[in-house]
């Protein structure tokens, strides 16, 4: 899980709430074009904000090791729960999609 993106989303709560609503429609069993529609909507929500703030997509695409990772994850999970956001949706859908978008834009395959 990319903690940088989790923190970035928390710092941009209006975008986070939009992304959560969009991500609820993501279903790997649906046709690719339906899945792509969800990815496109998420990209159109987060990429303009990221582009305005970041020098490069790699800034968020690559997570860095953190000494107190488990403590940070628990704290972030608590913040998301306080907002009424499903942590599983964030971890299993939103973060992987945003990482994939950033990697595609930056041209990395890690």
Distance from CA of residue 4 to its chain's centroid?
Answer: 9
Region of 27 (left: φ > 0; alpha: ψ -120 to 50; beta: rest) is: beta
Domain interval for residue 76: 3-106
How many structural domains are present in the chain? Answer: 1
Predicted model pTM: 0.87
CA atoms within 13 A of residue 99's CA, in its CB half-sphere? 17
Report how far apart the first and last C-alpha atoms of the chain are (Å, whole number): 13
In angstroms, rounded to a whole number, what is the distance separating the alpha carbons of residues 11 and 8? 5
Please give the structure tokens belonging to residue 26: 């993501």
DSSP secondary structure letter of residue 33? H
Q: Per-residue confidence of the chain (110 residues) as pLDDT tens digits?
A: 789 999 999 999 999 999 999 999 999 999 999 999 999 999 999 999 998 987 677 777 677 777 888 898 999 999 999 999 999 999 999 999 999 998 888 876 65
Alpha-carbon span 94 to 98, nearest angstrom: 6
């Amino acid at each position: 899980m990319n903690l940088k993106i989790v923190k970035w989303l928390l710092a941009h709560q209006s975008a986070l709430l939009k992304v959560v609503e969009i991500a609820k429609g993501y279903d790997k069993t649906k046709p690719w074009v339906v899945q792509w529609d969800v990815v496109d909507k998420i990209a159109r929500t987060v990429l303009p904000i990221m582009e305005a703030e970041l020098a490069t997509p790699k800034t968020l695409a690559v997570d860095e090791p953190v000494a107190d990772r488990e403590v940070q994850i628990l704290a972030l999970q608590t913040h998301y729960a306080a907002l009424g956001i499903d942590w599983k949706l964030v971890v299993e859908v939103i973060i992987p999609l945003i990482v994939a978008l950033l990697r595609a834009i930056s041209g990395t395959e890690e």
